[in-house]
Amino acid sequence: MGRPITDTDRRAVRRHHAAGMSRNDIARKIKRSPSTVSKIAADAGLTFDRAAEVATATAVRKADLDSRRTELAATLHDVAEREIGRMTQPQLYFEWGGSMHSYAERMQPEPTPADRRTMMATAGAALDRSLKLAPPKTDPGEQGRSVIGDLMAGLARDYATRHGGPPSEAEEEPEAAADGQ
């Protein structure tokens, strides 16, 4: 059997708990087992439940990651735009070598087709990764219009099922006919 819990242990647990120490830190500090500290805390009506703190920290971490992901997506878009812009700009080409180890350079009005393909591949990869990091948001108005369109199509199908076909153009609403008279 372990050593009995003393009033000194109880006071130390209350004091360290009030200071915000964790159960395991208190156990190390007072040289008791974590289960003993838990028992003392429970008897004193204290808890080590940090769910609210953990939830807040998790939410903050997610917000930070969302912000970093958005910044990275913007950087990738910048890379794509830069590569696309280079496709029509003058390009410097150089050669180094030969038996005399000579250097030669020439300026061309545009990159070669092979270089343009590479630039396009780089831009495409950057845009693809960017859109995966931060997918475009759908327009809420557009989404609402599609919901209304789906609702109207469903009502038309229901009408056709009940009445054996779509409403004719000549049919008028009863109230509209009464107003016209």
φ/ψ (deg, to 5) at 92 = -90, 125
105-121 pLDDT per residue, tens: 999 999 999 999 999 99
How confident is the model at residue 96, as a pLDDT? 85
**pLDDT single digits (tens) 82-113:** 999 999 999 999 988 878 888 989 999 999 99
Q: Is 92 exposed, middle or buried (0-12, 13-18, 19+ CB in 10 A)?
A: exposed
Contact between 113 and 52 (Cβ < 8 Å): no
> Collapsing DSSP states into helix, strand and coil, what is residue 176?
helix
Q: What is the DSSP letter of 21?
A: -
pLDDT at 158 over 60: yes
- The pTM for the full model equals 0.48
Reduced 3-state DSSP string for 51-110: HHHHHHHHHHHHHHHHHHHHHHHHHHHHHHHHHHHHCCCCEEEEEEECCCCEEEEEEECC
Q: Distance (Å, rounded) from C-alpha 87 to C-alpha 114?
A: 11
